[in-house]
Amino acid sequence: MTERLTQLLHDEATGLVPPPPDAASVIGAGRRIRQRRRVTGAVVATVAAVVVTSVGVGLLGGSPEARDVGPTSPDAATPAPAAYGVGSDVHVGDRVAQVPDTVHSLHYTSVGVLVRSNPNGGASDGSGPESLTLVRWDGSTEDLGTIPEGVGPATDPARDVYVLAEPEGDGFVAVVRDAGTGEVVQTVPLPDLPPSYWEVPPLTLDADRLFVGYRTKTAVVDLATGETSIAEGLDGGMQLVRGGHVVAGDGESLSVLDAATGQPVLDVEVEPGTAPYGMLSPDGRFLRVVRQDLPPGAEDVMQVYDVSTGSVQEFAGSDGWGWTSDGDPFRVGGGTLTRCEADTGDCTDSPAPGGPGTNADVRLGGMTYES
């Protein structure tokens, strides 16, 4: 009897094929909580889990197709590369790719960098339709056609899609496309609310939530369910939500809010009259703060706050800093790339062959530019 039961259990287990882990999602989530000095252990644990799962599938007789988890670059074991554009050149780490005309803006995804470019020197005012190109982490490119002038793609560095608001009938729909092919994967109607300052509602993608800016309200579309709600505590206009956080300020104060509730997560102490400006890292873990009106004799510095702990690091000079997709500040100038660790303040210089001079018009990853 015992032998028979054992055989039945073995036969049943042989037919089971555990679903493969979504590697891009796992790595994206890992980056959100990555602590620089613990990354090695975290990666070993993640890799071990994937290996154990793969071995288990092999032992249970699963097919190779069932184990295909797709691309996961850049490697989570190493820091994400700095990405920036100069003219028609797009630098991703030590790789250089070419896009049509002049780079306008760069948008991080899990499969590479989406680049907007146009023949108007990178400015969208009067440019007409703009080219959209995926520059993969290995430097290869994919032509994704054109998008309307002044309409930027909404992306999340942990996701392999981008979203555009497109007219349909008397309103708009959110069209979700595969970042690697441009193919439509989902279409979701957008609320019919009074428009803000733009003819097309501005979008921000944060995981499965799409934030849509209107005149006095911000709508939230759950892409997993299609349900729409109004974000509590958020005004209208363009709300740049990253990692579940959003920056709020009135020129005299600065805070980071929970985008779901509108409740403060971090309050920043600022000097009166300095007009502080804040921008979140693409993963929402860090806040960059610069003072736009410096008093005489004040040192020009950029402060980077850890949103979860409130700890702060200072970096010399407030201009010309971008973000990597995993939250490290970097700057480029004079043929040198300076990359710093947001949580420790440590910086490393490396050559930037063919990179811009100190006065070059460079477009930096993780930053926003005019629509």
∠ Cα 224 230 234 (to 5°): 115
Range from 75-79, 128-132, 197-201, 276-280 carrying the lowest mean pLDDT: 75-79
**Separation of alpha carbons 38 and 321, rounded Å:** 25
**Mind listing the pLDDT tens digit for each residue in 133-152?**
999 999 999 999 999 998 99
Q: Considering only CA atoms, which of 78, 96, 77, 74 is closest in space to residue 87?
A: 96
8 A C-beta contact, residue 163 and residue 203: yes
Q: What is the mean pLDDT of the chain?
A: 82
Q: Considering only CA atoms, which of 282, 281, 284, 250 is closest in space to residue 268?
A: 250
13: confidence class by pLDDT, cuts 50, 70, 90: very low
Q: Which residues contact 182 (CB under 8 A, 6 or more apart)?
A: 132, 142, 144, 145
According to the model, what pLDDT value does residue 46 have?
Answer: 37
253: confidence class by pLDDT, cuts 50, 70, 90: confident
Q: What are residue 128's phi and psi, to 5 degrees? A: 75, -170
Polymer length of the chain: 371
Q: Which amino acid is at 345?
A: G
8 A C-beta contact, residue 121 and residue 102: yes
- The partner residues of 254 in beta bridges, in order of sequence, read 249, 268
14, two tokens: 């042989």
| Domain extents in the chain | 2-67
**CB crowding 16-31: b at 16 or more within 10 Å, else e:** eeeebbebbebbbebb
233: confidence class by pLDDT, cuts 50, 70, 90: confident
Using DSSP's 3-state secondary structure scheme, residue 118 falls into: strand
- Longest Cα pair distance anywhere in the chain, in angstroms? 89
For the segment 209-235, the average pLDDT, to the nearest whole number, is 93
DSSP 168-208: ETTEEEEEEEETTT--EEEEEEPP-----SSSSPPEEEETT
Catalogue the E-assigned strands of 94-244.
95-98, 102-109, 112-118, 130-136, 141-147, 161-168, 171-178, 184-189, 203-206, 209-213, 218-222, 228-230
According to the model, what pLDDT value does residue 7 have?
Answer: 54
